[in-house]
Structure 1
């Protein structure tokens, strides 16, 4: 399986720098290269360090921040890191709120911010994309070209981490994961060698990069396929929460997941609560890949008598406008925690009533559990608690498989919901207590799903991985993958990183 990996040059070879075993990366890069290195007093350092989704990551202080502009410069930095044992991190957009995943305390941080190129072939739609781009920047750069990138849903998200985790998109039912469209990577391996994994060159590494996280080196370019797109339809519906609203919206998202047949349509259904119930709402994200959705596309959310609609911003707009509009969800200065679970939906072909099962599982089960736990957090200063139900119809898994193999290897055997759980709060001193609340929240959902499967209320043989882009650091990402994917990730990591430079000195899940 790894024959092509073994052809990568210099694997396992200790670099010539190895005499400086206790070297300081920041000083070595500054003294011996022309690469931009910033210190804690520099404006560039301060701006980059505060630009995380979670203030807990910003509170970690790297010894310096390095801003390479090419694969060659990244390679030079990685070779210097091979001469010492410093902890380090690589940052694209800083979307993951997990401490140490793209942040570091006391070691160097490699920022990909200067790797912000986007070069599009206007005839084929093939683009070279740097990991320093955020999704709203990509939307703006592609504006007017007639092509679009299969990216995430929040404009501020960095493209690098998104695609290394897979990347769930409004367009996933058409094109699979964001990573599914990557044709070739430019990758700096843990020893500093630059390689170009594709379906024909190092194919095991190519697959492992699609859902394998930061374990295999630093991606400095994504060569990917973009797709034709004109105006889109999108925006938010906001409802004041009532028990009836809960029931009707949850049933609507269940039905949309199973019965929607238009791959151009997508929804995210989010419930949000703020301190002392000052906010208790549903916020729905609607998307259609075209200027006007067919009349019945979103009817379950707009015309089935759901009470309490107070805002509707959905309209025809550019994709770039939609990406920019989404950035209201980023809460600057807050400590943020994100976790996830994957839930199979009760099928309409179930021997029991689908509506009754939907109410029992989604409304009385999962959603009531979330409300019960989140209620206990409402006195925490600045608290914002949310749960998002994101349809993962079997069509997404089929589309991903049709494009390319990936480490997630989702099965098109059942319709599912990917649930995203968020807690945001102001006081760093509340982190330990909120960690317990988060574990109780996602752990309770997992326990309920397993119990329903044992009772036959949900199919028991459905593969339910943890979605990396929303995973909490305590969740077992690699342990929830299929055994073949786990084995592939471990073998590839050992092959490209025999000295453990990335496996032992960066954060994140390790195979």
Structure 2
């Protein structure tokens, strides 16, 4: 009986995840179905194959059966039809910045959107159409000569596709909202292969679902955003040593509580230096060549250990944020949301850094524990007049925390996950003591650790998203890919 049970399980699994031979046949079928503009690559040392599977952290890299770089929506349609017919596991990758394993990687068919790289500005409509495979760094560089921007990623290497489908905190969020708030249309290849343009008018339910609903409803090949004027900006990275952390915490909490200029923004992080002492990295941004007196004075007067603050282009400012990791670095993000960063919360986050830094180093000498705080203007969630899949809560401002743990040893992946979950649990207790019942707040999909679950991401919007998913994808083709599944 036991042997027959094992055989039954094996057969059930094989119907969902084809064997290696079947996967190779799927790759061959895709190669025959797509046009000459697109290409399939096998694991035979090809540079394209390696690049298509590459991710920012090594723990998100999987060896796919093959990779495919579609160049047209028609080819994406052909690919998704074959995937749906054969029930083949797959992934869709834009920039590869996701740290959750399997969210944009697979052992099946890896779809790399690299060839969807157009950036087209329409002055008459005031919009810019951007291919889903573009990187935000390159988007900014291409739009700067035109004096406009579609605000997206704030650090190098972030892909347009995943970032936008996950919500999109950006440097102009105080003025224009989240990146999902400025999308006016999507070119979408539905799970059945149909190619449609989704707008608020043409398909209000699907438009709602794509605004933060991740990869549950098909494959987006192009986003059209509102464009906004931009000239030189001011800012960059300034760092402080251990002796200045208390002074910084007070300045940060005051800025978070009293910021009066929506053109100003901060992303600030704690980490430990080589000696084990805490340091602060503070990225300041102002939408203009020089901030008015008083906006950032409290930070500028703190003694720093390094600074590259100045007037520059947006692409230069984005490039100033350190993101390069040594080869082989593994890592996860985790996230929390707070109503506000008080001095007590900022101090508690600093304490988490100094506590977990030595702990993770005991398990892997290369391991680092970092925490990044982001604060926004009081009205930044009010710019959208229509509902969005994410966030489900907009009645009051809330702000994200990003945890970033990195290490090299794959044997400690599960241990590091547990440490990040423990840290979040402790900070939740601290927040409640601070008068912040944060359990009701949405978790940001692009920072969320996979163990958080879709309920914490989509909250009260989850039933509506499930209903839309059932209509758009009754065969659950998109369930063959990883992600925040509804």
TM-score (norm 2): 0.90
CA contact (8 A) 1:275 1:381 kept: no
* Alpha-carbon shift at residue 246 of structure 1 (Å): 2.6
**3-state SS of paired residue (1:27):** helix
Q: Which residue of 2 aligns with 1:45?
A: 49
Question: Secondary structure, in 3 states, of the residue corresponding to 1:377?
Answer: helix
Q: Which residue of structure 1 lines up, in the alignment, with residue 445 of structure 2?
A: 468
> Are 1:430 and 2:406 matched, yes or no?
no
Q: 1:297 to 1:332 in 2, by over 3 A?
A: farther
For 2:151 and 2:89, how far apart are their aligned partners in 1? Answer: 33
Q: Distance in 1 between matches of 2:289 and 2:238?
A: 18
Q: Do the aligned partners of residues 324 and 223 (structure 1) sit closer, same or farther apart at CA in structure 2, a change above 3 Å counting?
A: same
Query: What pairs up with 1:440-455 in 2 under 5 angstroms?
Result: 440-449=422-431, 451-452=432-433
CA distance in 1, matches of 2:335, 2:476: 28
Q: Structure 2 CA distance, aligned partners of 1:426 and 1:274?
A: 18
CA distance in structure 1 between the partners assigned to 2:211 and 2:109 by the alignment: 26
The 2-side partners of 1:370 and 1:342 are apart by: 17
Query: How far off is 1:329 after superposition?
Result: 4.7
In the alignment, is residue 122 of structure 1 matched against residue 131 of structure 2?
no
Map residues 132-211 of structure 1 onto 2, 5 A cutoff. 132-211=133-212
Deviations 1:133-168 (A, max 9, x none): 101110111121010111121121001000000000
Q: Does residue 499 of the first structure (1) align with residue 475 of the second (2)?
A: yes
1:131: how far off? 0.9
Partners of 2:190 and 2:324 in 1: CA distance: 35
Cα offsets for 1:389-438 (capped at 9, x unmatched): 10044311112x24x43112465554433110001112222212212211
**Other-structure match for 2:435:** 458
Contact residue 267 and residue 375 of structure 2 kept, 8 A: yes
Task: Determine the C-alpha separation between the residues in 1 that align with 2:201 and 2:230.
Answer: 29
SS of 1:474's equivalent? helix
Instruction: Report the secondary structure of 1:157's partner residue.
Output: coil
What does residue 464 of structure 2 align with? 488
Counterparts of 1:460 and 1:430 in 2: how far apart (Å)?
32
Distance, in Å, in 2 between the alignment partners of 1:370 and 1:341 is: 15
Cα distance change of structure 1 residues 261 and 165 upon mapping to structure 2, 3 Å threshold: same
For residues 396 and 252 of structure 1, the distance between their equivalents in structure 2, rounded to whole angstroms, comes to 21
* Separation of aligned partners in 2, 1:259 and 1:462: 24
The structure 2 residue matched to 1:95, chosen from 94, 97, 106, is 97
- Match of residue 265 from structure 1: 264
Q: Measure, in 1, the Cα distance between the counterparts of 2:326 and 2:168.
A: 21
Any conservation in 2 of the 1:25–1:77 contact (CA below 8 Å)? no
Match of 1:321 in 2: 316
The number of residues matched between the two structures is 460
SS at match of 1:326: coil
Residues 1:394 and 1:315: Cα distance change in structure 2 (over 3 Å): same
Alignment-derived partner of residue 375 in structure 2: 391
Question: Using the alignment, how far apart are the partners of 2:439 and 2:112 within structure 1?
Answer: 39
**3-state SS in 2 of match to 1:468:** coil
CA distance in 1, matches of 2:105, 2:395: 37
User: 1:175–1:181: 8 Å Cα contact kept in structure 2?
Assistant: yes
Over 3 Å counting, the alpha-carbon distance change for 1:435 and 1:328 in structure 2 is: closer
> Is 1:63 aligned to 2:65, yes or no?
yes
In the TM superposition, what are the counterparts of 1:11-26 in structure 2 within 5 Å?
Answer: 24-26=25-27
Change (3 A) 1:116 1:327: farther
Q: CA RMSD in A?
A: 2.0
In structure 2, the gaps of 5 or more residues are 1-21
- C-alpha distance in 2 between matches for 1:472 and 1:438: 9
Report the equivalent of 1:285. Answer: 283
Instruction: Please report how far the alpha carbon of residue 235 of structure 1 lies from its aligned counterpart in structure 2 after TM superposition.
Output: 0.5
Higher mean C-alpha deviation, range 319-328 or range 87-96: 319-328
Counterparts of 1:100-111 in structure 2, within 5 Å, are: 100-105=102-107, 107-111=108-112
- Give the match for residue 455 of structure 2: 478
* Whole-angstrom CA distance in 1 between matches of 2:104 and 2:317: 26
Alpha-carbon distance in 2 for matches of 1:332, 1:251: 37
Is residue 394–residue 412 contact of structure 1 (8 Å, CA) maintained in 2? no
- Using the TM superposition, give the Cα deviation of residue 275 of structure 1 relative to its aligned residue in structure 2, in angstroms: 5.9
**Would the aligned equivalents of 1:390 and 1:419 in 2 still touch at CA under 8 Å?**
yes
2:368 matches 1:406: no
* Cα gap change, 1:267 to 1:410, in 2 (>3 Å): farther
Deviates more, 1:180-189 or 1:116-125: 116-125
Tell me, what secondary structure is at the counterpart of 1:385? strand
**Corresponding residue to 1:340 among 335, 338, 346:** 335
CA distance in 1, matches of 2:314, 2:344: 37
Deviations 1:69-128 (A, max 9, x none): 0111100100111211211100001111110000002x1000100100111113443111
